[in-house]
């Protein structure tokens, strides 16, 4: 019996489930993270540029290259382990080493990425972060440490993964241009679990930054949408009051509708991506299984207070733009119907006018035909009289009498002739 055939994509799709393994990290360790995105049309970028930029960094350390078409790669670069991932709109670099500097969040730690290499990046930095992982001090409150490292006003701290670690961050950009996160691990926390915690923090920050791009787009569109909304309301008022010609209002309405459709088309991907990134942020936060720590706000509460309003603004702007486009479309259909009715009335009036003109023309034709019978009869009687005048002497009658006798027969013959000619023409 021949073996069953596999679907050509079976192994590829199965391996995709294991394509992005979590890095294994120890405590203590220092993690630096970078995400790069092209400013425009990042989803359609030349992904080979991402690989070339990665291989440039790898060549500086003699590290092996990724496989052709790879979307993730891990390699040792100096004393750091590098994890590279390629996503739909950005690429991320995570470098970590099992040492801690004397200074927390030292900008020198980011020098694992050379300055000239950063300048050659095929895109712009969407976010970067420094994560300090260290064992949790026994019997010591973390509050003064966190207040010393991070901004207290926006500090979010929580225990995660059943007390495996305490994580904290303020989601602010420090003077060196990086986000800061601290991870204090409990005794016995495994390397894979530490790697998952760090990976979740990097994903939360990156997806948050990507989602906020939609908020920037929504805020930029709001003045234009408000102006178009006002203009559309004014046109609707004119259409209701009949103060402006319908065809002129329809032309303006079609312009507004086209502008709204263009705005919706240009923003569709960004708003859709924002919704996806928002869902990923909430999912990654929930996967940490947070518990409150010493009265601090949790990451979920921080996102609810600081991040969720921005996402609601994006959703509101998207709905408003869609509703305004539908409103303009409905108004256009109503106005188009009104124009069609007006044109139909004009056509009916034109047809009635043409009927009246045709009736007048027919009457005029009949009048002309009557006059033509009279004129032809006059000449016919004269010709017949001239032809029959020699008979007046033989018949003993005068020329006047002869003319009177032949007038009626001649007129009758002319009338019959004209009528016959008209029948043939019709």
Nearest to 31 by CA among 118, 135, 105, 123: 105
Residue 206 included in any domain: no
Indicate the average pLDDT of the chain.
Answer: 86
Tell whether 215 and 293 lie within a shared domain.
yes
Q: Of 300, 317, 349, which residue sits at a domain end?
A: 349
Tell whether 161 and 87 lie within a shared domain.
yes
Residue 205 included in any domain: no
Tell whether 323 and 394 lie within a shared domain.
no
For the ranges 7-21, 114-128, 225-239, 264-278, which has the lowest average pLDDT? 7-21
- To which H or E segment does residue 387 belong? helix 308-388
Tell whether 171 and 239 lie within a shared domain.
no
Residue 194 included in any domain: no
Q: Which two tokens stand for residue 231?
A: 């203009």
Q: Of 349, 383, 417, which residue sits at a domain end?
A: 349
Range of the domain at 408: 353-425
Tell whether 343 and 358 lie within a shared domain.
no
Mean pLDDT of 323-335: 80
Tell whether 221 and 335 lie within a shared domain.
yes
To the nearest 10 degrees (0 to 180), the angle between helices 191-241 and 246-287 is 160
Give the model confidence (pLDDT) of 269-328 as tens digits. Answer: 999 999 999 999 999 999 999 999 988 999 999 999 999 999 999 999 999 999 888 888
Mean pLDDT of 343-367: 77
Mean pLDDT of 372-380: 71
Give the model confidence (pLDDT) of 68-111 as tens digits. Answer: 888 889 999 999 999 999 999 999 999 999 999 889 999 999 99
Tell whether 332 and 358 lie within a shared domain.
no
For the ranges 127-131, 134-138, 325-329, which has the lowest average pLDDT? 325-329
Return the DSSP state at 150.
S
Residue 31 included in any domain: yes
Residue 109 included in any domain: yes
The whole-number pLDDT of residue 335 equals 67
Query: What is the Cα–Cα distance from 284 to 119, expressed in whole angstroms?
Result: 31
Tell whether 336 and 371 lie within a shared domain.
no
Mean pLDDT of 347-371: 76
Residue 106 included in any domain: yes
Residue 199 included in any domain: no
Tell whether 128 and 260 lie within a shared domain.
no
Give phi and psi for 83, each to the nearest 5. -120, 125
- When divided into structural domains, the chain yields a total of 3
Asked whether the predicted pLDDT for residue 115 surpasses 80, the reply is yes
Asked whether the predicted pLDDT for residue 129 surpasses 90, the reply is yes
Tell whether 171 and 254 lie within a shared domain.
no
Asked whether the predicted pLDDT for residue 214 surpasses 80, the reply is yes
The whole-number pLDDT of residue 94 equals 97
Residue 201 included in any domain: no
The whole-number pLDDT of residue 338 equals 67
Query: What is the Cα–Cα distance from 280 to 286, expressed in whole angstroms?
Result: 10
Tell whether 377 and 344 lie within a shared domain.
no
Task: Indicate yes or no: pTM above 0.85.
Answer: no
Tell whether 417 and 294 lie within a shared domain.
no
Q: Of 349, 373, 390, which residue sits at a domain end?
A: 349
């Amino acid at each position: 019996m021949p073996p069953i055939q596999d679907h050509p994509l079976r192994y590829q799709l199965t391996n995709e489930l294991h394509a992005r393994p979590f890095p294994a990290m120890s405590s203590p360790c220092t993690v630096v993270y970078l995400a790069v995105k092209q400013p425009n049309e990042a989803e359609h970028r030349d992904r080979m540029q991402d690989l070339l930029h990665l291989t440039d960094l790898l060549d500086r350390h003699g590290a092996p290259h990724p496989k052709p078409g790879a979307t993730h790669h891990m390699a040792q670069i100096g004393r750091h382990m590098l994890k590279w991932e390629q996503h739909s709109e950005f690429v991320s670099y995570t470098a970590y080493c099992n040492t801690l500097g004397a200074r927390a969040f030292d900008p020198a730690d980011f020098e694992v990425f050379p300055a000239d290499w950063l300048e050659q990046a095929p895109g712009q930095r969407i976010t970067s972060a420094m994560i300090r992982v260290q064992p949790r001090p026994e019997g010591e409150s973390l509050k003064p440490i966190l207040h010393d490292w991070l901004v207290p006003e926006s500090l979010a701290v929580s225990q995660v993964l059943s007390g495996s670690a305490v994580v904290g961050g303020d989601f602010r950009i420090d003077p060196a241009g990086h986000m800061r996160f601290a991870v204090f691990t409990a005794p016995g926390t495994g390397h894979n679990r530490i790697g998952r915690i760090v990976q979740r923090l990097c994903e939360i920050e990156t997806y948050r930054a990507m989602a906020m791009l939609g908020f920037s787009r929504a805020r930029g569109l709001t003045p234009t949408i408000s102006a178009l909304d006002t203009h559309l309301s004014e046109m609707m008022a004119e259409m209701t009051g009949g103060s402006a010609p319908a065809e002129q209002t329809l032309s303006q309405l079609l312009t507004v509708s086209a502008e709204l459709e263009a705005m919706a088309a240009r923003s569709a991907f960004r708003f859709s991506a924002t919704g996806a990134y928002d869902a990923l942020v909430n999912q990654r936060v929930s996967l940490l299984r947070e518990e409150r720590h010493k009265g601090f706000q949790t990451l979920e509460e921080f996102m609810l207070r600081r991040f969720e309003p921005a996402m609601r603004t994006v959703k509101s702007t998207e709905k408003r733009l869609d509703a305004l486009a539908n409103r303009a479309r409905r108004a256009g259909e109503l106005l188009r119907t009104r124009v069609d009715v007006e044109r139909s009335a004009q056509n009916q009036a034109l047809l009635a006018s043409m009927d009246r003109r045709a009736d007048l023309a027919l009457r005029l034709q009949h009048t002309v035909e009557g006059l033509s019978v009279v004129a032809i009869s006059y000449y016919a009687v004269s010709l017949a009289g001239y032809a029959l005048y020699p008979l007046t002497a033989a018949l003993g009658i005068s020329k006047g009498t002869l003319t009177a006798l032949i007038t009626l027969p001649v007129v009758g013959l002319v009338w019959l002739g004209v009528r016959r000619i008209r029948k043939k023409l019709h």
